[in-house]
Structure 1
Amino acid sequence: MSALTPQSILEGRSSNRAPVPLIIGLVVSGICLLLALGFYVVLGGTAVVLAGTVLALPTAVLLVGLILLVDRLEPEPRLHLLLALGWGGGVAIIGALIVNSVSGELLVSVLGSGPAEFATAAVIAPVVEESFKGALLLFLLWWRRTEIDGPTDGIVYASLCGLGFALVENILYYMRGIEGPAGQFWLMIVVRGVVAPLGHPLYTSLTGLGVAYAATHRGPGRFFAVVGGWLGAVLLHALWNGSTVFGLGGLIIAYAVEAVVLVVMIVILVRDRRRLVGLIRRYLPAYVPSGLVQPADVQMLGTMPGRRHARHWARVNAGGVGARAMGDYQLAATELALLHARAQTATIDPRAFHARRDAILGLMRAARDAFFRRLPQAPPPPWARQQQSGFFAPPGQIQVARLPQVPHRR
């Protein structure tokens, strides 16, 4: 059996191959995305679909970049992020198109055209769309629960899923705008691309918060957190869709509520980053006796500028190998702190904890050894003025036997 790659260790996999459920999810999402785009082509033609795609992409690319910036301190696996984006733009879109269309036709026969259109937009669509998007988060909770370490992870996965949905949905809206009056087209561009581009990511983020709570806590509250997050997503979505019937005043109220929710999300993200930094400063000093970590390393790991400066310093002194080694060391140390947090909340089995801890420590040692193979006589790093950094400690100073014992709650 071949040695695990750093990425496999960081993701907690037992092999270097992509997991089968992940491959199946990506394939299904891709097929659904192609089906959705094929349906659009049937509706409006290839040229109109391409035009709608060109109009929808800039906003989506910008927002994906912002979400990835949020995810820098403890980045999620790239294929998982791709699955979230693809699920929203494929599975959720196809599911919503089918269920919303069928439900709309049934309501027309019962309520008539006008009331049925409003009921579909304000009631049916929010429930259906947030359920299909939320299904991806439930899948991650069941299959890769250990990848969700806190509110930031829940928000990141949910936002990408919602963004994938919004991207493909916006193509359809822009197609309709292109074929309609010029004034309606520009209004569509402003509303969908400028005024409210965060709608779907914001709605689904509420579900993401509930799922994140369920992934990091024990007890019956987990179920209510997931259901409560989903209900919040549905209600916020319904508020926006239903506000259109009340004209400009309704839109202003809905926009104000969404703005408040957005501010709350930003506060949660900031607090969660501080929590993660606190975990690093709380748990990593216990590994100082082992020689793998020193107080200077803890300070370096606690800030994004410090991490970036350390990678730059490693690249200058040891090239790409040194930069990759430093990156692996930083991510492994962060995962180690999060692993201890799970142990303290008893959301990981003790045997699984020790197995994963050994793998992470092995990666930290391997990263250090890779650096020294590239640069045998490493100069002291600038962030360790009075002490030797654990990463750059001379060979032979690492005491692997002295590891902290972590009690588990029962």
Structure 2
Amino acid sequence: MLAVISAAVAPAIALLSFIYLKDKYETEPLSMVVRVYIFGVLLVFPVMVLQYGFQEELHVSGFVKAFFVSGLLEEFLKWFIVYYSAYMHAEFNEPYDGIVYASALSLGFASLENVFYLSTYGIDEAFWRALLPVSGHALFGVIMGYYLGRGKFASGRRQKYLLLASLLLPALLHGLYNYILIRAEENMYFAIIPFMMFLWWLGLRKVKLANERRVAYLSRHQ
């Protein structure tokens, strides 16, 4: 069991460390990051209950399952917790902070989800789990956090649009990810790997842009 937990959690910790250390100017308090990560771990349980209820009671289609029961539901609950546990906190004081906290929560969620999966299907699945769903959760978190970071320092209608984007864009990408897996079947890896390459390009671009926005933000407030 220890090997399963290690194999399940290690990719998430590695990705979170990478994102945390990409903060080039002022890293966030580690206690806050760990707290948000733990919230992500705990979020797995209500999500499992809700998803089981929707799928068993409503007999949803693959499209609805991908985009609503999984994509929108999971990303909304992540967004809700990040908003109230980090976004409203005084430590959220620079544009890059959104990426740190949203990815921390997403990777906490991915960690426990991965433990359950590997416990059921075996440690041989660890490589593909790290490459696909764990990385996917991290990148959905990066995109959510990028727009949260922008929204934090905007105002009026622009702030509302950015906060809406911080929810809807990761939900849409998460839904597309799930729908590709549902539809691809035998050619799953050939279908999903190009999508993951796009996600990595987009996520790393958002990391770069967030750091650039931080420089601009700091120069205006010195």
Give the shorter-chain TM-score range: 0.7 to 0.9
| Larger relative contact order, structure 1 or 2 (CA cutoff 8 Å, min sep 6) | 2
Map 1:40-51 onto structure 2 (within 5 A).
47=1, 50-51=2-3
Helix, strand or coil: the match of 2:134? coil
Match of 1:239 among 176, 181, 200: 176
Task: For 1:149 and 1:128, locate their aligned partners in 2 and report how far apart those are by CA, in whole Å.
Answer: 28
- Range moving further from structure 2, 51-60 or 232-241: 51-60
Match of 1:61 in 2: 13
Q: Deviations over 1:219-253 (max 9, x none)?
A: 12211111112100001111111111223343134
1:124 to partner: Cα distance: 1.0
Match of 1:89 among 37, 41, 52: 41
Match of 1:161 among 90, 97, 105: 105
1:79 aligns with 2:24: no
Which structure carries more helix by proportion?
A: 2
Amino acid at match of 2:146: L
1:56 to partner: Cα distance: 1.1
Task: For 2:83 and 2:210, locate their aligned partners in 1 and report how far apart those are by CA, in whole Å.
Answer: 21
Helix, strand or coil: the match of 2:155? coil
Helix, strand or coil: the match of 2:195? helix
Task: For 1:209 and 1:166, locate their aligned partners in 2 and report how far apart those are by CA, in whole Å.
Answer: 19
Task: For 1:100 and 1:148, locate their aligned partners in 2 and report how far apart those are by CA, in whole Å.
Answer: 31
Match of 1:102 among 29, 35, 53: 53
1:51 to partner: Cα distance: 4.0
Helix, strand or coil: the match of 2:25? coil
Task: For 1:232 and 1:275, locate their aligned partners in 2 and report how far apart those are by CA, in whole Å.
Answer: 24
Q: Which runs of 5+ in 2 are unaligned?
A: none
| Preserved CA contact (<8 Å) 1:52 1:172 | no
Amino acid at match of 1:233: P
Match of 1:29 in 2: none
1:135 to partner: Cα distance: 1.2
Task: For 1:160 and 1:240, locate their aligned partners in 2 and report how far apart those are by CA, in whole Å.
Answer: 20
Computing the radius of gyration over CA atoms, which structure comes out larger, 1 or 2? 1
| Preserved CA contact (<8 Å) 1:100 1:124 | yes
Amino acid at match of 1:127: L
| Preserved CA contact (<8 Å) 1:51 1:175 | no
CA RMSD of aligned residues (A): 2.4
Q: Deviations over 1:331-381 (max 9, x none)?
A: xxxxxxxxx36xxxxxxxxxxxxxxxxxxxxxxxxxxxxxxxxxxxxxxxx
Task: For 1:95 and 1:262, locate their aligned partners in 2 and report how far apart those are by CA, in whole Å.
Answer: 27
Task: For 2:85 and 2:161, locate their aligned partners in 1 and report how far apart those are by CA, in whole Å.
Answer: 17
Match of 2:204 among 249, 258, 263: 263
1:273 to partner: Cα distance: 5.2
Task: For 1:161 and 1:241, locate their aligned partners in 2 and report how far apart those are by CA, in whole Å.
Answer: 19
Amino acid at match of 2:118: Y
Match of 1:252 among 193, 217, 222: 193
Helix, strand or coil: the match of 1:65? helix
Task: For 2:132 and 2:83, locate their aligned partners in 1 and report how far apart those are by CA, in whole Å.
Answer: 30
Match of 1:133 in 2: 78
Task: For 2:72 and 2:171, locate their aligned partners in 1 and report how far apart those are by CA, in whole Å.
Answer: 6
Map 1:303-322 onto structure 2 (within 5 A).
none
- How many residue pairs match? The answer is 218
1:269 to partner: Cα distance: 3.9
| Preserved CA contact (<8 Å) 1:141 1:211 | no
Map 1:213-224 onto structure 2 (within 5 A).
213-224=150-161
| Preserved CA contact (<8 Å) 2:21 2:27 | no
1:119 aligns with 2:64: yes
Match of 2:143 in 1: 206
Helix, strand or coil: the match of 2:96? helix
Q: Deviations over 1:203-223 (max 9, x none)?
A: 122222222222212212211
- Range moving further from structure 2, 72-81 or 218-227: 72-81
Q: Deviations over 1:88-117 (max 9, x none)?
A: 111x21221111111111232xx5xxx45x
Amino acid at match of 1:99: L
| Preserved CA contact (<8 Å) 1:159 1:205 | yes
Q: Which runs of 5+ in 1 are unaligned?
A: 1-46, 179-184, 284-339, 342-410
Map 1:241-390 onto structure 2 (within 5 A).
241-244=178-181, 245-246=183-184, 247-248=187-188, 249-272=190-213, 274-275=215-216, 279=218, 282=219, 340=221
Task: For 1:61 and 1:165, locate their aligned partners in 2 and report how far apart those are by CA, in whole Å.
Answer: 12
Task: For 1:219 and 1:69, locate their aligned partners in 2 and report how far apart those are by CA, in whole Å.
Answer: 32
| Preserved CA contact (<8 Å) 2:72 2:171 | yes
Helix, strand or coil: the match of 1:217? coil
Q: Percent of counterpart pairs with the same letter?
A: 23
1:72 to partner: Cα distance: 5.3
